Amino acid sequence: MGDLGIQVSNGWTIMSDQQKGLENAVAYLLPHAEHRNCARHVYANWKKKGHSTGTLRMLFWNAVKCTTHQDFQRIMQQMTTLKPQAAQDFRNIGVKKFCMAYISETPKCEVIDNNVCECFNSYILQYRSEPTIDILEDIRSTIMQRIVKKREVASDTIDQLCPRIRKLVEGNKLKFRTCSLRHAGEFQFEVTDFGNRFVVDIRSRSCSCRYWNIRGIPCSHAITCIHWMKQDPVSFVTDWLKKDVYKRAYRNGIRPLNGRSLWTEVEGNYLFPPIVKK
């Protein structure tokens, strides 16, 4: 906590697999943080209990990715009808740990798997056969270059949004064509989409589908209302997903270091331990 500068754990979200030791450590050190479990790890363990049919797999991921409690309960009822024990094992895991319908709306991040860690693991795969110091040096050098590239990408664009976020916004703009709205006064609307109705509150930046609440990106229902108000949807994307914050994230780089032949002693100790050949 000291290294991360965490004074109070409120507002923090931790992602891990289902290791009991990690769960206990997070509960002790960050008692008020949201602790999510990677849904892919959860599925792998759930599957080992005999819930491996294609239909069960589909229901698992539908349940994990739906954003409302009502949709979640409907999917779980289908799972219960198909295989009661599968549904019971699913619930016993703790749905608040890996289901989008129950995750916190504070972080504006819907991630429920550890894909970022897996990407990093594949990123450094080529270095794993090297000695420890060499592995760390190669990782440092690689990340140093990556930070510079990310900073350059952010500097070269004139868009307020990062490229991936822009793509999501544009996708939601296309979807809003199927929506119709009724104005309920002030900043509240009732939006109909394929027979389903959703309540949108522009002032609180929320929609009852919970997509906007969780991701911080206006859903198609919200964009319908924003267009009716003749506003730009970009203005309603959370600041955490805009270019200025992205640039701040990569503002501080990693300093370059000399090669091992130029490492020096500091008060009798090497900056890094020298290799001693036996």
Q: Strand runs (DSSP E) across the chain, as ranges? A: 13-16, 34-37, 179-183, 188-193, 196-201, 206-207, 265-266, 269-270
Tokens of 145: 């270059």
Average pLDDT, the chain: 89
- On whether residue 266 sits in a domain, the answer given is no
Query: Smallest Cα–Cα separation from 263: which of 253, 277, 273?
Result: 273
Judge whether residue 273 has pLDDT over 60: no
The residue whose two tokens read 């049919």 is 53
Render pLDDT for 15-66 as a digit per residue (tens, 0 to 9).
Answer: 888 888 888 998 888 998 999 999 999 999 999 999 989 999 999 999 999 9
Average pLDDT over every residue of 106-113: 90
Tell whether the model's pLDDT for residue 268 goes beyond 70.
no
Say whether 79 sits in a helix, a strand or coil.
Answer: helix
- Among residues 41, 70, 97, the one where a domain terminates is 97
| 34-37 and 13-16 strand pairing | parallel
Residue 50 covered by a domain: yes
- The DSSP-derived string for 164-221 is HHHHHHHHHHHHGGGEEEEE-STTEEEEEETTEEEEEETTTTEETT-HHHHHSS--HH
Q: What is the residue range of 81's domain?
A: 13-97
Predicted local confidence at residue 100, as pLDDT: 96
Report yes or no on 258 lying in a domain: no
User: 196 lies in a domain?
Assistant: yes
Calpha distance 177→170 (Å, rounded): 12
The yes-or-no verdict on residue 1 having pLDDT over 70 is no
Calculate the alpha carbon distances from 166 to 11, 74, 172, 217, 251 in Å.
25, 32, 10, 10, 21
Domain count, the chain: 2
Task: Let me know: does 246 contact 154? Beta carbons within 8 Å.
Answer: yes
Report whether 27 contacts 44 (CB < 8 A): no
**pLDDT for the residue numbered 188:** 97
Q: What pTM was computed for the model?
A: 0.83
148 domain-assigned: no
pLDDT tens readout for residues 219-231:
999 999 999 999 9
Last residue of a domain, one of 78, 97, 116: 97
Query: In this structure, is residue 24 part of a structural domain?
Result: yes
The number of CA neighbours under 13 Å toward the Cβ of 129 is 1
Within-domain flag for 205: yes
Q: Does 271 map to a domain? A: no
